[in-house]
Each structure stands twice: as C-alpha cells, then as structure tokens.
Amino acid sequence: MTTTQSAREAREIPGIAAAYIERDGGTLESLALTRGPWDAGHQHAGPPSAAVARAIEAVATAHGLDHLARLTVNLLRPVPISELEIRVREDYVGRSAGHFSAQLLAGGRECARVTALALRSLDVPVPAGTAGHPLPGPPKLPDGCPISHMPFFGEEIGYDDLVEIRVAEGRLFHGPTCAWFRLRYPLIDGETTSPYQRVAVAADSGNGISAVLDFDRYIFVNSDLTINLLRRPVGEWICLDARTSFGDTGSGLAESTLYDAQGQIGRATQSLVLRLRDG
C-alpha cells in the first residue's frame, strides 16, 4: 500500500458526515464525498442513483411494496455537486407489483430519468433440487481481502472516501475484477442507508473496477445503469464481479454479478460511451 493510500485510509474529513444533507422541502445538498473521477465538479453516478432509489423506496413502501426488484437510471447529463431535487411518480401500483418513475434535477435541469419495479415480499421457499439453486456464493468474503483505492482521486475528497473497496479477485482497472464495497459514511446525514441504496452506490462502479483501457487515454463513461435484484440484500458489504467489453463503434457494456455475504443477489449492466481523450 502506498503512502497516499495509507493516509486516505486513516484520514478524517472535517465537516462532512455523509454524501448528502436533506434540507427543508426535501432537496438534497450534495457534499464532496459524491465527487466522481471524470470532472471535479461532477458526481460519481452511484450516490445520486442511490438517492433516487431512496425516494422511490419511500413511495413504494407506503403501498407495502418492500422489494426494489429493478432500478434503471438513464443518465441524461453529468450530475453536478449541487442541490438536487427528486420527483417520483406512481405509474402503476397493483397488489403485488408497482411501477414507478422519477426525475433527478439540479438547478432546474433534468440530469437523470429513472424507472423502477417494486414488489411485495412473500414467503415462497424455492423447492429443493430446483435447477441453479442454491445460488452461488461470492468468490471470497471481504475479511482477508486487501483494501484497494481508486488512484485517480489522489488527495481530493470524493467517491473513494465514501466507500471502502476490498479486492477479492483480479486488480482494479486491469480487466475483469471482483471487489467488495461498503459505505464509510451514510448516504443521507442522520439516516441509516438501506440495502438497496448500498447496492446502487456500488453498482455504478462496475465499468471502473473492470476497466480494460488506459484511463489517461480514453473516456469510457456509462450513460445508464440497470440493477436487477432477486432478493433483498443483507449486510453492509456488496460485491461486484465485473467485466467490461467493447465493440469497434465507440460503445461498450459493463456487466456485474452482484453478491452479498450470503450469495448472489442479482446483476447490473451499464451501457458505455467510448471516446479518446482530447490531446
């Protein structure tokens, strides 16, 4: 571990206790922990995706729909580190399932459009002998996996401070990689972060941890994120077993199998825009 990594691991950030502070009226003040790798003024897409998931969870839970089975985030433009407004709409709410949509706005401009499917949890055990069951467990548990960091943040406060990353297999930013994520800080100041919000914070990192191209030469930003979950996650750790693939037309796909400590919980995909950096 380098000196920079050791300092980052131990440091405290005065005046910052969460990714967001909720203000009167429900708007969210974005703090430095949300900063992403592409631009110092823009957020990593994980925290705002989780913030929208939180808003949708609240509306769905009021109908008894307690399992967020799918979250699709269409990233229309970069999300600035600024005050955010989230608007949720009930598209259809039935007895067992509900469809919801949401808008994420900053300064009155729509930055993301989100759809979600929420289900009512029921006790329906899978019969013994069912093909593919029991589901596979993670390659390794986080205990004993080495701590790693995103090198492009340096000493700047950002997403690498918000999360702790432990690599189970592979090497960050060098092809297929399996890594555990947990939050060092809550998503919202004064709140306990839900399991679904934890997944959303982590899942947007699939294209980063499994990067196959030189970060200094290429931009490979995702324009969307879709998370499918087959059950409610448990525990503070979320694992991404991620890989990135590219075509020859400036587009690609990052795919992550998602785990908690008990086993597989779902999958996440990201559509990638590939460009050479200027200069």
For the chain, domain boundaries = 16-121+138-276
**Cis peptide bond N-terminal to 146, omega within 30:** no
Q: Is 110 helix (H, G, I), strand (E, B) or coil?
A: strand
Listed as ranges, residues in the chain with pLDDT below 70 are 1-11, 279
Helices (H) and strands (E) in the chain, counts: 5, 14
Q: Are 210 and 252 in contact (CB under 8 A)?
A: no
Q: Are 278 and 250 in contact (CB under 8 A)?
A: no
C-alpha span between 103 and 73 (Å, rounded): 10
In angstroms, how far apart are the furthest CA atoms of the chain?
59
Q: What is the pLDDT of residue 151?
A: 77
Q: What is the pLDDT of residue 205?
A: 96
Q: CB-hemisphere CA count at 13 Å for 26?
A: 11
Q: What is the pLDDT of residue 5?
A: 42
Q: What is the pLDDT of residue 13?
A: 80
Q: What is the pLDDT of residue 176?
A: 97
Residue 220's alpha-carbon distances to 38, 71, 117, 252, in angstroms, are: 10, 22, 28, 8
Q: What is the pLDDT of residue 232?
A: 97
Buried b (16+ CB within 10 A) or exposed e, 157-182: bbbbbbbbbbbbebebbeebbbbbbb
Residue 202's alpha-carbon distances to 60, 149, 187, in angstroms, are: 22, 14, 12
C-alpha span between 18 and 188 (Å, rounded): 6
Q: What is the pLDDT of residue 74?
A: 98
Q: What is the pLDDT of residue 3?
A: 31
CATH number of the 16-121+138-276 domain? 2.40.160.210
Nearest to 19 by CA among 28, 6, 9: 28
Q: What is the pLDDT of residue 7?
A: 41
